[in-house]
Structure 1
Amino acid sequence: MTTTEQSDATYVYTTYIRSTAEQVFRALTTPEFTMQYWGGAELTSDWRVGSRLEAIHPDRDDFIGEILAVEPPGRLSYTFTGRSEEAAGRPPTVVEFTISRFGDEAVKLQVVHTGFTADDKGAEDLRNIGEGWPAILAGLKTLLETDRPLAGPGHFAPRTPARA
């Protein structure tokens, strides 16, 4: 069963990072950072509303999207889909990050992922991001708090920045 009807499924993940909102926002939007915690993918865009976002990895096709909101250092949102899903006419999902102070030394980072289709593929996507977001955000937290990438296996393995 395939459909473009959206379900009301929402995935929410919250973490707390000993960092600043500015550093977290920079880590979300800078390829040299993303490749160290996002499974080696370089997230590239000019980070303007309406611009294209690409996750580039030398060994696999990753995701693409469109920037929906950029409000440094507190909010970032974009669409999220695979190239094959886009070619098949499937609607993208939507990711929104909110970053806020949490005491004197930390920030609260919340990710809300919505827009899953009300079919088997949408349910599969929801299951997949339920594994992906915790790993990605644990990698982000580790990188910012220790200045070292989290050594994840396989698809979650970091890469060393090609340029610094």
Structure 2
Amino acid sequence: MTEPSDRTYVYTTYIRSTAEQVFRALTTPAFTMQYWGGSELTSDWQVGSRLEALHPDREDFVGEIVAVEPPHRLSYTFTGRAEEQRGRPPTLVEFTVEPFGDEAVRLRVVHTGFTPDEQGDQDMRDVGEGWPAILSALKTLLETDRPLASPGHFAPRDPARA
């Protein structure tokens, strides 16, 4: 697992769910569009494959799958399409899912690779707002079977449990 540093964002949450359900929610477009601001995360989820976040109203992020170890670990690179076209290096996201007692799991996201410049500082601020909203919405969806009614950029789309 990636170790935190001063250029690392770490977020941990606890979800009343199973590792299998959380991993499925992280990798299934019908789930992601309900908690990831309406974006469908699409990939074949094989190491080296492309990952795309698709949204009908905006450009979203792209990446490459780095590690897939269902149901406990998922990692991929993360960059905006415009940044990718400019050749800006991507950051790296790693999810770990571990049992937490008999009825819950610990979901941890470690986001690394922020550049030591003004853009890297802005990227860290952006993920500092984004990850809590996204993972809170994921937790709500898995625990209540309903998407979190989030505003604006974080709003879910077409809730249709897969």
Say which SS state the counterpart of residue 60 (structure 1) adopts.
coil
Say which SS state the counterpart of residue 58 (structure 1) adopts.
coil
Uncovered stretches (5+) of structure 2, i.e. residues with no partner? none
Say which SS state the counterpart of residue 156 (structure 2) adopts.
coil
Query: Which of 83, 86, 96 is the matching residue for 1:85?
Result: 83
Deviation string 1:31-70 (CA, Å, 9 cap, x unpaired) is 0000000000000000000000000000000000000000
**Aligned mates of 1:102, 1:143 — CA distance in 2:** 18
Q: Is the 8 Å Cα contact of residues 61 and 78 (structure 2) preserved in structure 1? A: yes
Q: Is the 8 Å Cα contact of residues 95 and 111 (structure 1) preserved in structure 2? A: yes
Give the 4+ runs in structure 1 shifted more than 6 A: none
Say which SS state the counterpart of residue 73 (structure 1) adopts.
coil
For residues 18 and 162 of structure 1, do their structure 2 counterparts lie closer, same or farther at Cα, with a shift above 3 Å needed? closer
**Aligned mates of 1:99, 1:138 — CA distance in 2:** 15
Percent identity over the alignment is 81
TM-score, length of structure 1 as denominator length: 0.94
CA shift for structure 1 position 11:
0.3
Uncovered stretches (5+) of structure 1, i.e. residues with no partner? 1-6
Q: Which residue of 2 aligns with 1:17?
A: 15
**Aligned mates of 2:23, 2:117 — CA distance in 1:** 33
Query: Which of 73, 76, 81 is the matching residue for 2:74?
Result: 76
Say yes or no: does 1:119 pair with 2:117.
yes
> How many aligned positions are there?
158
Say yes or no: does 1:97 pair with 2:89.
no
Aligned residues: CA RMSD? 1.3
Q: Which residue of 2 aligns with 1:64?
A: 62
CA shift for structure 1 position 163:
9.1
Q: Structure 1 counterpart of 2:82, which letter?
A: S
